[in-house]
Amino acid sequence: MIEDSVSLHLPIVATILIPFAAALLGLAAARRSIVKDITVIAGFLAVVSAAYRLVTISEPATGSGVPVLTVSSGIPEIALGEVTIPFDLAVGSRTALISLVVAVVTLAVLAFATWYLAEDDRLGVFLATVSLFAAAMQLVVHSGDLVLTLVGWEVMGYCSYLLIGHWSRSGRARRAAYKSFIVTRLADVGFVLGVVILASGARSTGYTEVVTHWSANTGAALTLAISLLVIAVLGKSAQFPFQDWLADAMAGPTPASALIHAATMVAAGTVVLAQLRLLLALAPAAQWLLAVSVAVTMILGAVLAIGQSDLKTLLAWSTVSQVAVMLAPLALVADLEGSAAALFHMYSHALFKALLFLTIGWLSLSIHSTLAARLQGTAGRRLSQAAVVIGFAALAGLPLVVGGWSKELVVATVAGAGAGARGGLLLVALLVTVVLTALYATRAALILVRPGQQKADEDLTTGELRAVVATRAALKEAQHKLDAAPFTPRAVIVLLTVATAFGGIVLLAFEDLLGVPAHVSVLWLTVTLVLALAGIALAWVLSKDGDLALRLGSRQPLWDQGFQADRAYLALVATPVLAAARAVRALDTQVVDAPVRALARQAVRLSDRAGDAQTSRPLTAAALVGIGLVVLLALGVVITLGGGA
């Protein structure tokens, strides 16, 4: 399209193909230690190529067209009757930015996993799957074609199934992996149908053609298609009513959680909706659907996070809540500014959530638990303390660190979009979420940083909280192991801590990348800061006598069960489907097959009667065939005559 399209083209394709190649090579060499070098070096190369692309980007992502510019992926276009699949990739400064974040988080996860899972006999497969996962996400980020997006989207789903179920010797991991795939796959029906409808109108699966066609043909079909896509996004992003799979997914290894939560799977919906923002804006009903779901989800996730007995699950619910925050501007103002706010928060969330997950993984490795009661006071040293404080400050949305900037932008964008019921709903939900988020972030930080109070067992009142208490000896040993952690995990944590601390300011300096001037609203900065401080103060007060979740008393298990959404899934979906399956099987054997079986039985009886089975079986069978032929021929003649008359 433009002269330097080759130089644009190469680093993009490389960013996708390098992790893909690493996945294939890694799988082939899964049992050898070289797999670590292959995947980590490939992860590094992907960062280099994404960074190169970002630095050499020339055009700002302005203008109204989506995407800004497309280049061929190198896959020849397919013309399938009326519809064309161009297999184009989209080029823009935003895609370059998100792609770099994805590459950085992937590299951090790969490097961390080589240490974290060093003893695991399936480390090689794990690293290969992570690489494939990253390739799929890079494909979604760069896609300029609905089919390519769908490919990346589904491959990510399958990779998450494999990663969540990585420790398949545990029944919990097996169930969680199954559940995550089925729940997201159910929502993905929306993606398939949405793609089909959009492509059937545009006669092409290319974003450019699709957007051009549907911008001129709004109406029920577009609303249906976009609503279906929104449903798919709700599924992948673990938004209500699909939210429950993500908490179960904590049965996977922590690096996998970091990858799924920070930069890939759950964030992919934001990327796709930002790419299709022009169409989203033309389908207000779909935006309403998204708005109601994210408003419910951001509060639900935050409330659930407050009461978790397991800090890793707390992070999972915080992801659910934060992704809802990310999607909120798109549900209201699906334009350049709205998507800029969403993508900025995705960028922030990727950095601080990766940091938090890997830090929890680091702290928990030696004590083999992520329970709050066990992790008490484990962040005793300088690095871990810094990581915890900065990470949770970003989550709470305090100014200066990365999450603060983006959360403020989200709130200001939603508030600035004006009145209307949808805007009001989202703004109220966001403000409530700010308080709740600060509350649980403070709770988690206090648990990790405050030295463990030596409490008698009877002081811990509930469920798992009561079951475990970290002994002084275990803590000491844990500290020792932490200090003994080698260079790699420390480097990863340092890198992510620095990125979380300064990532926001850096991005603001290059605000062109997001395509809009990042205006800092003093009013909303103040409001969110006051609300966050209120949440922190509340948490501080409530945590006086130890973990504030203990105050939930005997109701606490409800939080660990995600308010029993799993039961609802079973009762509303799984049980009826299985009952239908049993009924269908009974019908299949007893009704559909019955006449045939009767006929076959008669035939067998005939053939048995016909004499010595040894010698005459083929003959009798042939005779039977002959008889059957005659009968059917007669039948056929009757039908023919009847038809002719």
Partner 1 sequence: MTLLAAIAVPIVVGLWLVLAGRQLPRTSAWSVGMVAALATLGLLVAALVTDSAFDREWVGVLGLRLALGVDGISAPLLVLTAAIGVLVVLLARSNLPTGGSPSLYLGAVLMATGGAFATFAARDAILFFVAFELVLIPVWLLIHRFGDPHDAAARKDAGLRFILFTVSGSVLMLIGILVLVGSAGTSHFDVLVDAGAALPLGTQTLVAALLVTGLAVKVPVFPLHTWLPAAHATAPTGGSVILAAILLKMGTYGLVRLPIASVPDGFARVAPTLAVLGTIGIIWAGLVCLVENDAKRLIAYSSIAHMGFVVLGLASGTVVGLQAALIGNIAHGVISALLFVVIGGLKDRWGAVRFDAPLPALREHAPRLGFVLILGLAAGLGLPGLAAFWGELFAVYGAWTSGLGPGLLLRVCAAVAALGAVLAAAYALRVGRLLWVGEAQTPVEPTAPTETSGAERLVLAALVVATVTIGLVPHVVWSVTSADASALLAGVLGR
Residues that bind partner 1 (CB under 8 A): 76, 78-83, 147, 150-151, 154-155, 158, 161, 165, 168-169, 171, 174, 178, 181-182, 185-186, 189, 192-193, 195-197, 199-200, 577-578, 580-582, 584-585, 588, 592-593, 596, 599-600, 603-604, 607, 621, 624-625, 628-629, 632-633, 636-637, 639-640, 643-644
Q: How far apart are CA 137 and CA 141, in angstroms?
A: 6
Q: Of 420 and 576, which has the nearer Cβ to partner 1?
A: 576
Least separation, in Å, of the C-beta of 604 and partner 1? 6
Rg of the chain on CA atoms, in Å: 28
Q: Of 498 and 624, which has the nearer Cβ to partner 1?
A: 624
Q: Nearest to residue 625, comparing CAs of 642, 603, 610, 601?
A: 603
Least separation, in Å, of the C-beta of 15 and partner 1? 18
Least separation, in Å, of the C-beta of 236 and partner 1? 14
Least separation, in Å, of the C-beta of 202 and partner 1? 12
Q: Of 41 and 196, which has the nearer Cβ to partner 1?
A: 196
Q: How far apart are CA 475 and CA 480, in angstroms?
A: 9
Q: Of 29 and 41, which has the nearer Cβ to partner 1?
A: 29
Token pair for 359: 């830090």
Q: Which residues of 537-546 are buried (b: 16+ CB within 10 A; e: fewer)?
A: ebbeebbeeb
Q: Of 194 and 329, which has the nearer Cβ to partner 1?
A: 194
User: Kind of pairing, strands 69-72 and 88-91?
Assistant: antiparallel
Least separation, in Å, of the C-beta of 186 and partner 1? 5
Q: Of 523 and 627, which has the nearer Cβ to partner 1?
A: 627
Q: Of 520 and 581, which has the nearer Cβ to partner 1?
A: 581
Whether the CB-CB separation of 72 and 88 falls below 8 Å is answered with: yes
CA 471 to mean position of chain CA atoms = 36
Q: Of 51 and 75, which has the nearer Cβ to partner 1?
A: 75
Q: Of 74 and 418, which has the nearer Cβ to partner 1?
A: 74
Least separation, in Å, of the C-beta of 175 and partner 1? 8
Least separation, in Å, of the C-beta of 486 and partner 1? 29
Q: What residues have CB less than 8 Å from 645, skipping those under 6 apart?
A: none
Burial class (CB in 10 A: 0-12, 13-18, 19+), 6: exposed
Least separation, in Å, of the C-beta of 442 and partner 1? 39
Q: How far apart are CA 80 and CA 78, in angstroms?
A: 6
Q: Of 461 and 602, which has the nearer Cβ to partner 1?
A: 602
What is 422-486 written as a DSSP string? Answer: HHHHHHHHHHHHHHHHHHHHHHHHHHHHSPPP---GGG--SHHHHH----HHHHHHHHHHHHT--
Q: What residues have CB less than 8 Å from 453, skipping those under 6 apart?
A: 376, 546
Least separation, in Å, of the C-beta of 644 and partner 1? 8
Least separation, in Å, of the C-beta of 590 and partner 1? 11
Q: How far apart are CA 38 and CA 19, in angstroms?
A: 10
Least separation, in Å, of the C-beta of 470 and partner 1? 30
Q: Which residues of 193-207 are buried (b: 16+ CB within 10 A; e: fewer)?
A: bbbebbbebbebbbb
Neighbouring CB atoms inside 10 A of 209's CB total: 20
Whether the CB-CB separation of 140 and 272 falls below 8 Å is answered with: yes
Q: Of 486 and 618, which has the nearer Cβ to partner 1?
A: 618
Whether the CB-CB separation of 308 and 436 falls below 8 Å is answered with: no
Q: How far apart are CA 29 and CA 17, in angstroms?
A: 18
